[in-house]
A = this chain, B = another copy of it.
Amino acid sequence: MEFASDNSSGAAPEIMDAVTRINAGYAPSYGTDAAMDRVRALIRETFEAPGAEVYLVATGTTANALSLACLCPPWGAVYAHAEAHVETDECGAPEFYIGGGKIARIGGRDGKLDPADLRRAIEQTPQGFVHSTQRGAVTLTNTTEAGTVYTPDEIAALTAVAKEYGLPVHLDGARFANAVVATGATPAEMTWKSGIDILSFGGTKNGCLGVEAVVMFDPAKTWEFELRRKRGGHLFSKHRYLSAQMEAYLTDGLWLRLARTANDRAATLEQAVLSVPGARLMHPREANILFAYLPRGTHRRAIRAGAHYYFWPIDQSLDGPDDEPLPARFVASWCTTEAEIGVFAQLLHG
């Protein structure tokens, strides 16, 4: 009953097999391996983007921070949802890589930005006024931190605002696969066709050991990216192990199958949770993350029986009235089983 994070899951068998297979013999280092050529081709095909450039790194924070550093100058503002990972969970990595910068936090229901709010935040940065941070870049997250999903139309509405002000747009896609599955849109529709310039394409949370692809739909800054990656310490000498993961992930739609499983399991979790009297959702459940209020008594029973998930915010007390509703986050992953959820559902009902 592990619902704390998709980071707790291991790697899918196909991914691990690929890593094992790629181990045989010698291979060129630092990203010149043949598997990386195949990854590049697979990404271009998957995203219908023959001109895209692709780089692999091992963590999502790295993918985001390097991308933003290429888009935003040291004196720039990055417009982001107030709950975005880049703001709350990266210990200032974007500012470190940007060399200063400011995350301009924007509120928004259910983890999503509203175009009008984005416009207002951009307008509030007095462009051309030397005393102020300047407008830099926009970053979106899909699947959002609230477990909701932007549709291509919603993305396009936001990037349209950004483009109006000449701002590039980054997409944090740590859970991009779950968003694609949730919307049924194509990867292209979810990115460059909707105005995304650069994508952090997550693998780690969805069945890889540790790999993220940075996909630059506009190749203008690829050399800058390579230099930033190297001097950040993120260029792997034995790069083949990153390549192998990403190759397997993209082969035969594995990435979508894994995400579909995760989303489906989250739907089952949702049913289980909502069947508890007094339970209700915090946000619509659209992908593999569920935010819901449950009575404290129910939490107490589940947690003491070994269920693992986070209160949200995290610092709630198990002590207190049984029927007080407490918010919590449940995450399903590619390896969450119906059986686990079944046991959990029974627990919920005492």
Contact = CB atoms under 8 A, between A and B. Distances in A.
A133 B92 contact: yes
A312 interface: no
A233 B99 contact: no
Contacts of A73: 224, 227
Interface string A86-108: 00111111011101111100000
Contacts of A204: 237-238
A10 B27 contact: yes
Majority secondary structure, A binding face: loop
A271 interface: no
Contact of A58 (B2, B22, B58, B74): B58
B65 A92 contact: no
A343 to B, nearest CB: 14
Interface in A233-270: 233-238, 240-241
B233 A65 contact: yes
Given A57-B233, A96-B232, A26 B11 contact: no
Given A23-B16, A26-B9, A231 B102 contact: no
13 contacts: A7-B29, A8-B26, A9-B26, A11-B238, A16-B19, A59-B236, A60-B237, A91-B130, A91-B134, A91-B227, A92-B100, A97-B233, A130-B235
